[in-house]
Structure 1
């Protein structure tokens, strides 16, 4: 019975860490480094020609999304990183969007685990689908 309580305690501590671990902007607020779309095991990169107002549109959509907050940056700075937490477990995913001229680069990725099961791709494509391009 002691082993069961120890395992329960480990699970609770692990879930608490996932929900409460601080997000370091120096680690997650980084410039997307790709010039082409990429589907990754841990996330997604999208490169879109939006015109100069793309980041503003993207920011309005991302900021209005449930369980999503701004970690760092702003539209005025030309780059914003968002944290979106999963509904059930509170797992954080990070999405960085950077405007460079008419090009909007977006990098969505997980923090914990080895695969995001396509969640970041779905989120980024849903947000892009709401934009008026």
Structure 2
């Protein structure tokens, strides 16, 4: 009986992680501050050409399990939801074109630590953006 209860709780938690709605008013926020790493994410600010936002949008949309939550290139800010392959944990990455800079704010929704996943993804995206 306890085993079935644990299995049911695990299934319910997994369903919540995959099906919980993402509120754009909470996650589609402008990146603030300078480069920094924190327990479940990262902020990066880099010099960028005018076409960098469009190029980074193409890179982000080419990343597996990635969808757009809110925003557009025309708006100058886009927030992506990137889900982990196995469990579907959502990470949110907001990219803002601010003059001659790209501001990128990547963070996880669940858990206190992301084990560097967001930092690695942003670093990879920025490497692909370089000529």
TM-score (norm 2): 0.97
Q: Over aligned residues, Cα RMSD in angstroms?
A: 0.8
SS in 1 for 2:59: helix
**Equivalent residues in 2 for 1:49-128 (5 A)?**
49-128=47-126
- Native 8 Å contact 1:54 1:102 kept in 2: no
Q: CA deviation at 1:64?
A: 1.1
Moved over 6 A (4+): none
Q: How many pairs align?
A: 131
Instruction: Return 5+ residue gaps in structure 1 as ranges.
Output: none
Query: What's the offset of the Cα at 1:59?
Result: 0.5
Unaligned runs of at least 5 residues, structure 2: none
Aligned counterparts of 2:21 and 2:69: Cα–Cα separation in 1: 10
Deviation of 1:117 after TM superposition, in Å, equals 0.3
**Contact 1:38 1:44 survives alignment (8 Å):** yes
In the superposition, the TM-score normalised over structure 1's length comes to: 0.96
